[in-house]
Amino acid sequence: MTLPRIVMVIASGISASKEKAQFLISSGISTTVGATVFNLTLMWGICLICGTKNMTDKPDFQPEESSPFKRLKGLRDTGVTIDKETSYTAGIMLLSLIPFVLVQPVTAFNSFVGRRILIFITLVVSLILLVSYFLYQVLDPWMQERSLEYSKYENLLAGFLHHVQRHARGKLINEEGQPDIDVIKRLFHETDRDADKCLTLAELENLILEMQSGKVVDVDKDYAISKILNSFDKNNDKIIQEEEFVEGCKKWIEEAAQLAQSDDSSSKKILRKASELLLIAVEKYTQKRRDEIAEIEHIMARLLKHVQTQALEAEHLVKDDGTPNIERIREIFHQYDFDGNNAITKPELEELIGSVKFGEVEINREDTVKKVLRDFDRNGNDMIDEDEFVHGMTRWLNEAINVTKCPDKKRAIDEYDKIKWSEVDKIVYEVEKDGEINYKLLTWTFNKSVLQVLLGIAIMTLCAKPLVISIEDLSDAMGIPSFLIPFVMVPLALNARMAIAAIFPASQKSSITASLTFSEIYGGVIMNNIMGMATLLAVVCIKDLRWDYSAEVLIILVVCSVIGLLAFFSTTYPLWTCLLAFSLYPFSVVLFYLLECVFGWA
């Protein structure tokens, strides 16, 4: 919601007369402050209430034990736990207050030149912070990766339920609108291959492979298993009992129902943010992700293909009956055991990795050697003996055969390589039906997204001036203080939808989803602060306007400092802090009214 406000101020401010531009700056600063206050008070408190859970080791409070003292104790012992990355984001939010600190004493200068110099210095600092923030996210895109994390969870949830529905031979939801337990149990017994009434890691892995092969969901296998265990395995024994499977499915069905009712899921917000990135930022980020994704599955896929290519003149790695060729694998081991000590050492493995062609991906050879050693070396002596090599190669060959499901088992290696490395290439490239490979930044999908952003900016530019005039007329017609419209009503209208959408992830009562939700709030405040200040000061300098908004600046400093310091120094938000956040909103409105209308602050 930052970009529309910025376009509105720029488009209407520069084209208007000096007097009109001054009013527009007043509305712009009020809207900027109002949006930040709304996000850090009402939205922050609502998300805390929705995500609160017991933070002690004691059982949750029982209703029959309820008393005034117990309720007060619950304000302390219940709340939300967030991760360190969210605290770092709150720290960046505190840094976004630097321009406000610099511009606050501007009215203390009696000299006009002194005021203009301080305003110009603040504008330069704001622009430096804005560019630095963009570059920081491009060079170290952990904030975008955290945003994408919840999108991956949504994708897994939808794909899992779709797979359950397709294979359960019945409807997941009965006529009463409740999950059909018999259908869920039927799928459990189909997945439980050994009929021991529990799902092991191997059976879960087979379930994920079936989902991938059925084109139901495109998600990393290890990520999917980790999330399913986290949601289903209540006693943390790495297996899922029938009761746990039923309860986990019921929980995911309820989450999916809530997600379907939300018209602004995380994935949509991510797409909107992605469309605002600069072209070079997209290119660098996607290239970085493409290089980082080369994990052990991709390494082994390319390594198997390399070994197979070297073995074309000899026997195939896979026999005619579809089983691994153990004799040929042993021959390959001795081929790369250069010193003949019956073990492949790190230098020998590094030489082998160096001979493998990984295309345009620049892998870290030392890191790759560590990954292969970690996967093959079972006794931890930093060498791969013959038995370990045979065991590891056999396991990866079986993995390739199971994933590809080729009728001709000998083609499994080539197909496995295509599958795994298409996951890497599709980040930057897409393949047309005729086999032509296109750079994604040149495809219609990307260009369409850019055109939609430009069209939105054009519409906002045309509508900006009439909207601001309407706000002024509405204030006069209602007979209310003019500051209430941009400070209260406009931020409420612009952010209400986002606040409702944030309730779903927060209500999952998970530390991960809570951290992602609060990170989104802090990230929005950062952009609102530094881009808002840079835009407003730019118009002030261009139109040679005065700056007398000390009241607004003081309010944003107070609210951001209170919530920012709390979030930066603590990884737990007790429930009582929502009372603090809620109280800051009326406090800000009353303080603004007193400073502006009673004390006449300039």
Confidence class of residue 305 from pLDDT cuts 50, 70 and 90?
low
**What is the tens place of the pLDDT at every residue in 229-268?**
877 887 878 888 888 888 888 877 776 665 554 444 443 4
| The pLDDT value given to residue 324 | 81
Between 179 and 144, where is the model more confident?
179
**Cα radius of gyration rounded to whole Å, the chain:** 29
User: How far apart (Å, rounded) are the C-alpha atoms in residues 267 and 154?
Assistant: 8
User: Hey, is 573 helix, strand or coil?
Assistant: strand
Higher local confidence (pLDDT), 602 or 17: 17
* Residue 507 pLDDT: 60
pLDDT of residue 285: 40
pLDDT at 24: 76
Among 73-82, 171-180, 274-283, 367-376, which is the least confidently predicted range?
Answer: 274-283
How much is the average pLDDT of 92-100? Answer: 94
Poorest-pLDDT segment among 56-60, 154-158, 516-520, 592-596: 56-60
Sign of CA dihedral 180, 181, 186, 192: positive
pLDDT of residue 585: 92
> Residue 555: its pLDDT value, please?
93
Residue spans of alpha helices (H) in 54-111: 68-77, 84-95, 98-103
- What pLDDT score was predicted for residue 120? 93
For the chain, the average pLDDT equals 73
All structural domains of the chain, each given as residue ranges with its CATH number in brackets, are: 2-147+465-598 (1.20.1420.30), 148-267 (1.10.238.10), 294-426 (1.10.238.10)
3-state DSSP helix/strand/coil % of the chain, to nearest 5: 75, 5, 25
| pLDDT top residue among 529 and 395 | 529
Residues 475-515 pLDDT 10s: 677 766 666 676 777 677 666 666 666 665 556 566 777 88
Residue 461: which residues within 8 A CB-CB, separation 6 or more? 7, 11
Residue of higher predicted confidence among 188 and 584: 584
- pLDDT-derived band at 376, boundaries 50, 70, 90: confident
Mean pLDDT across 111-133: 91
**Higher pLDDT among residues 155 and 562, named by residue:** 562
203-232 pLDDT, tens digit per residue, is 887 777 777 665 555 566 777 777 788 778
> Which long-range CB contacts under 8 A does 214-222 form with residues at least 24 apart?
214/163, 214/166, 216/159, 216/162, 216/163, 216/166, 217/155, 217/156, 217/158, 217/159, 217/160, 217/162, 217/163, 218/155, 218/159, 218/423, 219/152, 219/155, 219/156, 219/159, 220/152, 221/297
For 526-569, the pLDDT digits (tens) are 988 998 888 889 888 888 888 888 888 999 999 999 999 999 99
pLDDT of 193? 81
